[in-house]
Structure 1
Amino acid sequence: MKISVRCAEETIRYAQLLSSLLTSGDIILLNGDLGAGKTTFTKGLAAGLGITKNVKSPTFNLVKEYRDGQLPLFHMDLYRLEGVGAGDLGLEEYFNQSGVSVLEWSQFVAEDIPSAHLVINLEKDDEHDDWRKIEFVASGQRYEQLVSEFAELIK
């Protein structure tokens, strides 16, 4: 499923709508170039979950935990792991907790990610700086159902 957005506020709004369908243990992989809107999308997820803390990219910490919402949100920026991999970071501990895991730059730890997950590809528009194309790709029955429910929600 693909959608187009014309500003960061729209990206946030769609992420908030998606967050209403998330459950404990969900894993979301955010893909896109630098500046494509991965952290903006995460801000929307956090807002939809009732998280009031300011969400920033956890580039220097790798993981930021937000526990003040309806579900904990584990925001991971794995950019610094390019060519290194996850090693013994214990990412599976986050995947097994009662929260939502959001991974930016997940391709650098692909071997450590469970096969069932939701991929969200964010792509900049060549002609308009603020426009984005957002694609939702489900892996596994849970996420196929999630994308189906989300498509109904945004009609």
Structure 2
Amino acid sequence: MKTIDLKTAADTRLLGLQFGQQLPAGTVLLLQGDLGSGKTAFVQALGEGLGIEDSIESPTFTLINEYLDGRVPLYHFDLYRLELHQTATLYPEIYWEGIEVEPGICAIEWAERLAYKPESYLEICLSYQATGRKVEIRAIGAAVIPNLEFRT
């Protein structure tokens, strides 16, 4: 596990940017944290790091946004409005296994609402601290945490 203090919004953006520059296709990011903890800001910077020029918005009502013009595709899920039993009907494995879509990076906000998880993923937990935000990153299965440059 890796823990990083994110003292400013720029730190959250830097984290997402570094992920976008380094992650390979097939990576799944399960994002957790309260409202306003930085999940969407992280994904926006992730997209920037992938070279995506489109505006990245949280797909709260559409549930999944696909961005195909970056270094690798980005599939952005937002499960906030769903209950656990409803998330299975999205068939998220189509995206994280690259079954019917080009392999890319799956970034899933409110991942604790997933009915099931892939074998390998990076769990990213964002939380508030008195001095800003904190992120805890865990690699599950064969997933690998990218090399991050942060002064903590």
* Secondary structure, counterpart of 1:44 in structure 2: helix
Letter matched to residue 55 of structure 2: N
Task: Report the Cα distance in structure 1 between the residues aligned to 2:78 and 2:63, rounded to whole angstroms.
Answer: 5
Moved more, 10-19 or 116-125: 10-19
Count how many residue pairs are aligned between Structure 1 and Structure 2. 146
- Are 2:19 and 2:46, in contact at CA under 8 Å, matched by a contact in 1? yes
Call closer, same or farther: CA 1:81–1:116 in 2, change over 3 Å. Answer: same
Counterpart check, 1:150 vs 2:147: yes
Task: Note the residue ranges of structure 1 that are not aligned, 5 or more in a row.
Answer: none
Question: 1:154: Cα distance to partner?
Answer: 4.1
TM-score using structure 2 length: 0.89
Kept after mapping to 1: 8 A contact 2:126/2:134? yes
The aligned runs of 1:1-155 (5 Å cut-off) are 1-97=2-98, 98-111=103-116, 113-125=117-129, 127-128=130-131, 131-141=132-142, 143=143, 146-147=144-145, 149-151=146-148, 153-154=149-150
C-alpha displacement of 1:9: 1.5
Unaligned runs of 5+ in 2: none
1:74-107 deviation digits (Å, cap 9, x = unpaired): 0000111124332322211111221100001111
Q: Which secondary structure does the structure 2 equivalent of 1:20 belong to?
A: helix
* CA distance, structure 2, for counterparts of residue 140 and residue 69 of structure 1: 26
1:41-69 CA-partner distances (Å, limit 9, x unpaired): 00111000000111111000000111111
**Aligned residues: CA RMSD:** 1.6
User: C-alpha distance in 2, partners of 1:3/1:91?
Assistant: 28
Q: Please state which structure has a larger fraction of its residues in helix.
A: 1
TM-score where L is the length of structure 1: 0.87
Q: Structure 1 pair 132/50, CA: closer, same or farther in 2 (3 Å)?
A: same
Q: Which amino acid aligns with 1:103?
A: I
